[in-house]
Amino acid sequence: MGDRGEMPIEAAPAAARQHSLEVPEKTAPLRPYGINYRVDPTVSFAEFRYWAKVEREEEREAERLYLERRGPMTLSKMVKSRFSKGVHHETKKMDERDATAAAATNPGPSTEEKGAAVDGDGKVLAASNPDEDKTAPSVAHGGSSTTSLDEEWKTAARAMRTAGWGSIFFLVTTDILGWSNTPFVFASVGYGTGVALYVVFGIAATLSGLMLWRMFTTLDSSRYPMLSYGDIFFRVFGPKTRHFINVMQSLQQFCTVMVLIFSKGRVISLLAGPQLCFIVCMIIIMAIGMVFGSIRSLQRLSWICNLSVWFNIASFISIMVAAAKYEPFFPPIFGSTILPKEKLPVKTFAGLVPDAYQQQAHGFAGIFNGVDNMVYAYSGAILFVAFMSEMRHPMDFWKGMICAQAFICVVYLFFGLFVYSYFGQYSASVIYQVINPAGLRTFNNVLNLLTGLIAVVLYFHVGMKTVYIEVFQEMFNFPPIASSRGRWMWYALGPLYWIIAFLIAAAVPNLNGIVGFVGGLFAVNFSYSLPGIAYLGWSVQSAAVLPGEGFNPETGENVVHDSGMKRLARGFMARWYIHVPCAIYALAGLATSGMGTWAAVEGLISVFGPGGTVATSYGCRSPVWG
């Protein structure tokens, strides 16, 4: 193909081998590397880990130099960074400028002054570097990763890695934050249970993020980059699991885009009135998505996600003001809940909520509705690998992720408790639709529309990138996204993705119910079960390594002394105190997913069963106006 992503490692020149102090008896094979070889089944787990260690060392040094050159962050620098071509582009320009200035003012020291080893005839044998870390892993053919890997490929591989951990905070917050139904959760389970479970699920979601971060930083490199959630499973469990995960992820992302097109079309219909055809409202969302979907870099997208966070803050503050000053707007509550159709005194509960004050169902089902919402409130880890793959220094991901999860948990608790204290049993699931006065409802509908549009673009970005890389680039040999041709292919395929999502969203009856089924089946697993399963496999393999085992960069060989169940059992028992809780964590996630799927199936049966509907959204009649 001629793409740089398929360049083999070049052997050391003959002259260099002749004058080197040591020549390995056996040199490493010329293994290809790059985007197309990141899923090479012949690359061992140990080799992935080796190159990841090399990569992290280089990133750490590059980050140190970047921060040193950049100096203290100022407002002007922050604004300029949002419109730059990326940190690597800026670093290259600074390198060229510094090199030109140095060459003009200082011809540089001689070879002897640099510390080179010289033989009796004055020939250079090898240059020494007093600052070199002798314990750092070396690379095949005795050089550093920089000298062994083609520099152009490394630059291209890192061209899209521009996001910092500050950007990750806004991306994760936009991905996960969904505060509008938190009062409904407290109305379903009460104060005590709500606070306890929100904190527990927040901690669990953070642990999942840390698991993914740990695996990513020990398995990803520019030689074999990780680009999607499925890449983790490929490197831990093999190719078949990767295909399964990629299908799950693509379907989940596509369903999310579909439901957002549908739901935000409802908001436009609510704002515009019944005179605007509902199908036109959905087309408007699709068109906006096509325009903003052309953004290929998360660095640029994080600027928009920054706005989303502030829109959310403005929205929930206005709702808290409305809850404190005005009574609820009752018509939507009476029309969509099983509460008595008359105004009763507001009631709140410290413990579990009695059946008479449940909104959706009685008994366990009513309480489970609230718990189910809490589980979904932290779902979003499906995008974490994609976020890390575009960071210039992935080791910092944990900072942005933990800050985001803490912020999200505080928002959930503060907003939910505040509004529930004033609205009690009337805290509806779509809280911005049941506040007074009407002007505030309109204001919050607009903000909800804007934040929803940003979210749909974010989900499209990751979903489309997964499809492009895993299907078009891998199967049909499309050019890399970072290339010029790849950019135009992205522009061409993006609108097609939106059109298909729109057509299905409009054609499927009860889209929310079907997406709820897909979410119960996949979303919870991506955030809880799958990180636990992958981490368990990664940790067992890491703990099973014996002395003398590992990847040898000089020969390209992976030395292992045993295999099979004996090796896995040894690895499991070596860290049983980590592996047993991890297995329980994964099983608990699977159980939660099963319960959510069961609830979604029951809902679908009631909708499509006797007395149900198969109406689609093609036409002018809006589901908002009846």
Residues with Cβ within 8 Å of 494's Cβ and at least 6 positions away in sequence, in order, are 290, 293, 294, 460, 464
**Higher pLDDT pick, 20 / 449:** 449
- Whether residue 261 is predicted with pLDDT greater than 80 in this model: the reply is yes
Question: 513: pLDDT confidence band, cut at 50, 70 and 90?
Answer: low
The Cβ of residue 382 has, within 10 Å, a number of other Cβ atoms equal to 27
pLDDT digits (tens, 9 = 90+) for 599-613: 777 767 766 666 555
Among 184-188, 200-204, 474-478, the least confident range: 474-478
pLDDT given for residue 92 in this prediction:
62
Among 68-77, 358-367, 379-388, 445-454, the least confident range: 68-77
CB 141 within 8 A of CB 28: yes
Choose the most confident range, by mean pLDDT, from 12-16, 328-332, 501-505, 568-572: 568-572
pLDDT given for residue 123 in this prediction:
41
Residue 92 CA neighbour count, 13 Å, CB half: 13
Tell me if residue 566 falls in helix, strand or coil.
Answer: helix
Of the options 2.40.230, 1.20.1730, 1.10.3470, 1.10.10, the CATH number for the domain spanning 160-608: 1.20.1730
pLDDT given for residue 300 in this prediction:
67
- Whether residue 116 is predicted with pLDDT greater than 50 in this model: the reply is no
Question: 574: pLDDT confidence band, cut at 50, 70 and 90?
Answer: very high
Choose the most confident range, by mean pLDDT, from 88-97, 390-399, 576-585: 576-585
pLDDT given for residue 433 in this prediction:
84
Rounded mean pLDDT, 174-183: 87
521 token code pair = 């089946």
Q: Which residue in 435, 431, 426 sits closest to 346, CA to CA?
A: 426
pLDDT given for residue 84 in this prediction:
55
Question: 190: pLDDT confidence band, cut at 50, 70 and 90?
Answer: very high
- Whether residue 237 is predicted with pLDDT greater than 90 in this model: the reply is yes
Tell me if residue 359 falls in helix, strand or coil.
Answer: coil
- Whether residue 49 is predicted with pLDDT greater than 50 in this model: the reply is yes
The CA distances from residue 488 to 213, 483, 484, 491, 602, in Å, are 32, 9, 7, 5, 45
Task: Supply the DSSP string of 106-130, one letter for each residue.
Answer: -----TTTTTEEE-TTS-EEEE--T
Rounded mean pLDDT, 398-404: 94
Among 29-38, 57-66, 395-404, the least confident range: 29-38
Choose the most confident range, by mean pLDDT, from 67-76, 172-181, 392-401: 392-401
C-alpha 431/C-alpha 235 separation (Å) is 43
Residues with Cβ within 8 Å of 475's Cβ and at least 6 positions away in sequence, in order, are none
- Whether residue 486 is predicted with pLDDT greater than 50 in this model: the reply is yes
Give the CA-trace dihedral at 162, 168, 174, 176, to 10 degrees.
Answer: 130
442 token code pair = 């309109």
Rounded mean pLDDT, 21-31: 50
Question: 98: pLDDT confidence band, cut at 50, 70 and 90?
Answer: low
Residues with Cβ within 8 Å of 612's Cβ and at least 6 positions away in sequence, in order, are 510, 606
CB 77 within 8 A of CB 70: yes
Residues with Cβ within 8 Å of 609's Cβ and at least 6 positions away in sequence, in order, are none
Question: 368: pLDDT confidence band, cut at 50, 70 and 90?
Answer: confident
337 token code pair = 């809940």
Domain-by-domain residue ranges, the chain? 160-608
